[in-house]
Structure 1
């Protein structure tokens, strides 16, 4: 299996993308992270879905997580009102966020090479280098793990033990 076989289109966001838009992309598509493009529209960075969630949670709650226990559902609604004012750019500028440079892999890279390079780069998403600029394709960590398991003879999803 090669990168070209695992490649899928993913949404690409920019610094101006709001926290609401970024969160909606992750929630609706089950994404492990977001691809971020530079001003020219070229994918340059990756942030994990958990870091996008970090953008949504007020900083004072991250500083003292025990405060979160005092909010009921009604009070929590007030916490989310600020989301329209936050952007992916805020996330990129946050020192506590791991912004990873996008890993580019050749379209003919093997599964073993893809897996090793993604682990080495500690990334969940890699750009397939030869994909068209206007419609880039990416290899995701879940696709790589699924292909590794299939190669290992795993028959697929099982029901949870009772």
Structure 2
């Protein structure tokens, strides 16, 4: 079995899209992450859902969970509004990580190893510089786990 056998169409966002659009896409389509395309239309990064939350939750609450507990609910419910003003480009870490991208001929084990190494719930599949789609962790596990 090859990556092409597990391939599915997958939504993408550009670097200048608002981060809140990524959050909406994740929620409305129940996605594990989003493929972010660079300025030339090539995969630039994979933005996992947990990373979107990391961008939204104030750093002081991530660093000290006790602070998150003392913030009243009215203010706590507003934390996602901070995303309204930020683009994906602005929110990405300054040090790029290994990009989980492979070709359609990659084996299932190659795809699984790439997911594990990059801690990404999906891998972009690219051929001749063109994004074909993605392999999700769910699709991979459904095909390889015994019934």
TM-score (norm 1): 0.77
Match of 1:4 in 2: 4
Unaligned 5+ residue runs, structure 1? 155-162
Q: How does 1:70-109 map to 2 (within 5 A)?
A: 70-93=70-93, 99-109=96-106
Equivalenced residues, count? 147
Are residue 116 (structure 1) and residue 127 (structure 2) matched? no
Q: Which structure is larger by alpha-carbon Rg, 1 or 2?
A: 1
Q: Deviations along 1:113-141, whole A, 9 cap, x unmatched?
A: 322333244332222223883x6311111
Whether the 8 Å CA contact 1:9–1:137 is kept in 2: the answer is yes
TM-score (norm 2): 0.83
Q: Deviations along 1:48-105, whole A, 9 cap, x unmatched?
A: 211111111122222322111123332223433322112212321356xxx5333332
1:24 offset after TM fit, Å?
0.4
Q: How does 1:126-145 map to 2 (within 5 A)?
A: 126-130=123-127, 133=130, 136-145=132-141
